[in-house]
Structure 1
Amino acid sequence: MDEYFFNSIKCLIFLTYWLLIANITFRVLIKKRRSIASSTLWLLTVYIIPFIGISVWFFFGELYLGKRQKKIANRIWSMSNNWLNELKSCTNIFQMKNSEVANSLFQLCKHRQGTYGIKSNKLKLLSNTNQTIQILIRDISLAKKNIEMVFYIWKPGGIADDVAIALIKSAKRGIHCRLMLDSAGSIAFFRSPWAKIMRKSGIQIVEALKVSLLRVFLRRLDVRQHRKMILIDNYIVYSGSMNLVDPSLFKQSSGIGQWIDLMTRIEGPVAATMGIIYSCDWEIETGLKILPPLPNKQHLRNEYTRNSSIQVIASGPGFPENMIHQALLTAIYSARKELIMTTPYLVPSEDLLYAICTAAQRGVKVSIIIPLYHDSILVKWASRVFFAELLEAGVKIYQFKKGLLHSKSILVDKQLSLIGTVNLDMRSLWLNFEITLVIDDSNFGKDLFYIQKQYISDSLLLDKRMWSTRAYWTIILEKIFYFLSPLL
């Protein structure tokens, strides 16, 4: 009897094991976006070290939310959405023509997202975090209707507390305030007294993609709310790389210096498209719909630039798939004279790497600015794998030495700008909730060019000859870390 029982258990374990292997194999093969290299690595991992491979797949192999969140995400962002159809009827806000360098990208956005670029916006590029916070506090204090924010990281202390105090004051005078923060990135905020104090003042606070032991078994935990976005009175918006932290305090124990960020402040009708993205994120987390109002005549002031055009691209579960990846490729292939890119994390897809190298080889002056000092050991070493190929193609790689360069920007021919939260790595391209502003404006491009040139002047140029003579053990270490990147 005992022998029969144990044999039955063995058979059950054996059957379960092969069912899991077959299930994972099926899911890897039908996943339409996964590259051959990534699929092969997953299958080899599961077959060669099955128990570890199955465990890793369970936590990181599938891109999914909780069941309720996934159900909401699958239905809210659609080209047939009634709100979007109403927005399309506001024909006076759309720019039908774009510059030559931006035309392809804006056509892509029109096809994938359903609308032309939006005109009549007032743009300002902000490269100093302290200055950005002061301007933000002023806008919060002057708000008349509503304030909505989403951040990956809110770390209490210093000037971050000044923003919290300004929000509390606005809430107490009747301004409708909503705050959405990523559970993992803002763990210090949720453990501080600020969450309770702000809720008590009337601010609605949502802990996005909440992390807990129970949820480990319900959804993938490394899908994060990585957007940084502020909306005030459905008219003023901020977006870029800045988290709500005091740079003089944030991660100073790591010895990498202050984080250097870039934000864009915009007044105008583009706030409506930013608002619908926030509405979608809010609905995914709460189930409540908070659609923004459509643009009105106030959004079309004559003194605002009408020659420029803006598209807003959002990514994440429920949003147009692969859109940001397509946008980056289109922008790079549109370059004719000069391409400048800044990113703190450089682990591009094969397609992006090929596009960047091809741009340099066809005569485009290509520069990539990355941090010399890094907060991620894995990404630091994995990114080094790409240096030799980029340098060989003629790409100039600059390593910023005055802190951690956290800005995410692309400038094409001083005309087409991409500013947002997207890093050039797999996590930003495939997993997280991200946002990118696509701006067709020569004046804005000149401002971005000036800032990027300042970054370059504070950087070290990587020497191709010196890089080729680096120690052999470092090459092996780079390959080991790079080997892990397709698992994302």
Structure 2
Amino acid sequence: MDKIYHLLTLIGIGLYWFLVAGVTLRVVLKRKAVSVSLSWLMIIYIVPVVGVIFYFLFGELNLGRKRAERAKEMFAPFELWFRSLNDCQAHRPQSMRAHILKIDELCNYRMGIPALSGNTLSLKNTPSDIFQSILRDIEQANSSITMVFYIWHPGGYTDSVGSALISAAKRGVDVKLLLDSAGSARFFRSHWHDMMQQAGIRVVEVMKVSPWRIFFSRLDLRQHRKLIIIDDAIAYTGSMNMVDPAFFEKSAQVGQWVDVMVRITGPSVNVLSCIFAWDWELETGERSFPHIPECALESTAAYLPIQVVPSGPGMPEYLISQVLTLAIHQAHRSLCITTPYFVPSADLVYALKLTSQRGVQVDIVVPKYNDSMLVKWASRAFYSELMSAGVRIHEFEGGLLHTKSVVIDEAFCLIGTVNIDMRSLWLNFEVTLAVDDEEFTHSLSQQQQVYIDQSTMIDADVWAQRSLWQRFMERLFYLCSPLL
């Protein structure tokens, strides 16, 4: 009997090491970023068996066979629709400034999406301002309302939006909602789901979470966009989920979430509408392109352009990450970033350090209290390296700062749904706007200054005195960065 146990033990050890060797080879052959590959290898070796399981669940971009095939078939017709916008008068590369022109060239080459002029933007920076504006536009909707959100959390203002959508549907407006299964789990368990469907609203649960599906698609691949399009004439995007901060995550003890949204009119609304059409077809198989926007501009005056930048499985890889890096490298005087989750790649860390060492003032604003302990510790692992290069890091104390914004030279900005972490930049369905409008950028820069005024800047000398325990926790959770 002892010999049998001994033999089974040897077989078990052999099979395990064969499995680890196979997964190691798979990690290497996938040619991920070196830092990501090394992190995965550390997890696989340090946490036996569990590390291998985690890799198969979270380590590879697995959209699921059906969605992956559909996304591949969709790309050509959607690219054709986007490229048709290059014939619009609103696409004026000859009048673009250098930074937006380079981003236009990148997005045009990779996905056919041009930067379009003739838009108007307004920044909404308080929950009451955001919700009241959305409610007014819903109440005036005539033909269609489409929305995509990661989180829909019932309560407060959110219920008012739900009621307004039901009223719109009852008066004949076509209402469609795409809500992420994981982020909006509470909504799908609530009475609101049934009430909306009974009113004729089409509600689609995106990337359903279930024990069965973990074998066919990546568990943490999420629909993270926040989009509202009304009558193909008005759009909203930004950092805020469909949640009332006064009713959301109260038990987390991090304070209310702090967000902004942008209200947009003009031809870029139709581009955002086409992004919704992409997401809708990917989930339902139903294709319905928005109309080509009105291209004529009222005069020959310089209308400053907006570049819509989407990303996600089926779209060109790392497009938003490339746009972010391109924007950072064009900073001459100042760069300010606000993000709730700061776990940058090695390439992005290098870009931030290089920018600071060129003499550009670089400020990063993150929340002092975070709803993710993993992110909190992993973020702090980058502080010393960045501060040694002259980067200023501010910890916001007025709640959980959730605004995702980048302002370059107070003249150009990025704003949208993208966090500075691996999942947002490399994995999830996201959207951001590159805005070449000094007036709008100035308002966003002022909002960033409000955040900085409510923050404490990390002192490099004091930070260097932190305990060995804190240093250990930072490095430990840094190893988990591929999961963040």
Given that residues 39 and 481 in structure 2 are in contact (C-alpha distance below 8 angstroms), is that contact kept between their aligned partners in structure 1?
no
1:350 aligns with 2:349: no
For 2:192, the equivalent position in structure 1 comes to 194
For 2:252, the equivalent position in structure 1 comes to 254
1:94 aligns with 2:88: no
Aligned in 2, Cα 1:11/1:292: closer, same or farther, shift over 3 Å? farther
Given that residues 121 and 304 in structure 1 are in contact (C-alpha distance below 8 angstroms), is that contact kept between their aligned partners in structure 2?
no
Q: Write the mapping of 1:45-56 to structure 2, written as runs, cut at 5 A.
A: 45-46=43-44, 49-56=47-54
Count of residue pairs the alignment pairs up: 483
Note the alpha carbon deviations across 1:328-348, whole angstroms, 9 max, x for none.
Answer: 111110000111110011111
Note the alpha carbon deviations across 1:212-242, whole angstroms, 9 max, x for none.
Answer: 1211222111001110001111111100000
For 1:375, the equivalent position in structure 2 comes to 371
Note the alpha carbon deviations across 1:374-398, whole angstroms, 9 max, x for none.
Answer: 1111101110011111111111111
Secondary structure of the equivalent of 1:92? coil
Q: Distance in 1 between matches of 2:232 and 2:300?
A: 17
For 1:458, the equivalent position in structure 2 comes to 454
Q: Give 2:453's aligned amino acid.
A: S
Q: Give 2:24's aligned amino acid.
A: T
Q: Distance in 2 between matches of 1:104 and 1:84?
A: 18
Match of 1:414 among 399, 403, 410: 410
Q: Distance in 2 between matches of 1:125 and 1:438?
A: 14
1:125 aligns with 2:123: yes
Deviation at 1:303, TM superposition (A): 8.6
1:31 aligns with 2:63: no
Match of 1:291 among 289, 292, 296: 289
Match of 2:264 among 250, 258, 266: 266
Aligned in 2, Cα 1:74/1:62: closer, same or farther, shift over 3 Å? same
Deviation at 1:81, TM superposition (A): 3.4
Q: Distance in 2 between matches of 1:426 and 1:435?
A: 15
Q: Give 1:432's aligned amino acid.
A: N
CA RMSD of aligned residues (A): 2.4
Q: Distance in 2 between matches of 1:58 and 1:158?
A: 40
Q: Write the mapping of 1:51-450 to structure 2, written as runs, cut at 5 A.
A: 51-78=49-76, 81-89=79-87, 91-96=88-93, 97-296=95-294, 300=296, 302=298, 306-450=302-446
Q: Distance in 1 between matches of 2:339 and 2:301?
A: 28
Deviation at 1:286, TM superposition (A): 0.8
Match of 2:469 among 470, 473, 479: 473
Q: Distance in 2 between matches of 1:487 and 1:381?
A: 13
Given that residues 89 and 297 in structure 2 are in contact (C-alpha distance below 8 angstroms), is that contact kept between their aligned partners in structure 1?
no
Q: Distance in 2 between matches of 1:83 and 1:122?
A: 23
Sequence identity, in percent?
A: 44
Q: Distance in 2 between matches of 1:41 and 1:457?
A: 36
Deviation at 1:77, TM superposition (A): 2.6
Aligned in 2, Cα 1:205/1:111: closer, same or farther, shift over 3 Å? same
1:41 aligns with 2:36: no
Given that residues 101 and 415 in structure 1 are in contact (C-alpha distance below 8 angstroms), is that contact kept between their aligned partners in structure 2?
no
Of 148-157 and 397-406, the range deviating more from structure 2: 397-406
Q: Distance in 1 between matches of 2:38 and 2:178?
A: 37
Q: Distance in 2 between matches of 1:44 and 1:453?
A: 40
Given that residues 101 and 413 in structure 1 are in contact (C-alpha distance below 8 angstroms), is that contact kept between their aligned partners in structure 2?
no
Q: Distance in 2 between matches of 1:305 and 1:256?
A: 46
Deviation at 1:185, TM superposition (A): 0.3
Aligned in 2, Cα 1:345/1:142: closer, same or farther, shift over 3 Å? same
Deviation at 1:321, TM superposition (A): 0.3
Aligned in 2, Cα 1:366/1:41: closer, same or farther, shift over 3 Å? closer
Aligned in 2, Cα 1:44/1:337: closer, same or farther, shift over 3 Å? closer
Q: Distance in 2 between matches of 1:304 and 1:461?
A: 45
Aligned in 2, Cα 1:19/1:71: closer, same or farther, shift over 3 Å? farther
Note the alpha carbon deviations across 1:30-56, whole angstroms, 9 max, x for none.
Answer: 323x12232233335445655222211
Aligned in 2, Cα 1:306/1:134: closer, same or farther, shift over 3 Å? farther
Of 202-211 and 382-391, the range deviating more from structure 2: 382-391
For 1:483, the equivalent position in structure 2 comes to 479
Q: Distance in 2 between matches of 1:304 and 1:472?
A: 62
Secondary structure of the equivalent of 1:153? coil
Given that residues 122 and 305 in structure 1 are in contact (C-alpha distance below 8 angstroms), is that contact kept between their aligned partners in structure 2?
no
Of 216-225 and 198-207, the range deviating more from structure 2: 216-225
Aligned in 2, Cα 1:62/1:101: closer, same or farther, shift over 3 Å? closer
Secondary structure of the equivalent of 2:193? helix
Given that residues 412 and 436 in structure 2 are in contact (C-alpha distance below 8 angstroms), is that contact kept between their aligned partners in structure 1?
yes
Secondary structure of the equivalent of 2:441? helix
Of 44-53 and 417-426, the range deviating more from structure 2: 44-53
Q: Give 1:64's aligned amino acid.
A: N
Aligned in 2, Cα 1:439/1:431: closer, same or farther, shift over 3 Å? same
Deviation at 1:20, TM superposition (A): 4.2
Secondary structure of the equivalent of 1:443? helix
Given that residues 42 and 487 in structure 1 are in contact (C-alpha distance below 8 angstroms), is that contact kept between their aligned partners in structure 2?
no
Deviation at 1:301, TM superposition (A): 6.0
Q: Distance in 1 between matches of 2:52 and 2:81?
A: 42
Given that residues 238 and 415 in structure 2 are in contact (C-alpha distance below 8 angstroms), is that contact kept between their aligned partners in structure 1?
yes
Q: Distance in 2 between matches of 1:191 and 1:14?
A: 45
Q: Give 1:145's aligned amino acid.
A: S
Of 180-189 and 64-73, the range deviating more from structure 2: 64-73
Given that residues 365 and 452 in structure 2 are in contact (C-alpha distance below 8 angstroms), is that contact kept between their aligned partners in structure 1?
yes
Aligned in 2, Cα 1:395/1:382: closer, same or farther, shift over 3 Å? same
Deviation at 1:209, TM superposition (A): 0.3
| TM-score of the superposed pair, with normalisation by structure 2 | 0.94
Q: Give 2:52's aligned amino acid.
A: I
Unaligned stretches of 5+ residues in structure 2? none
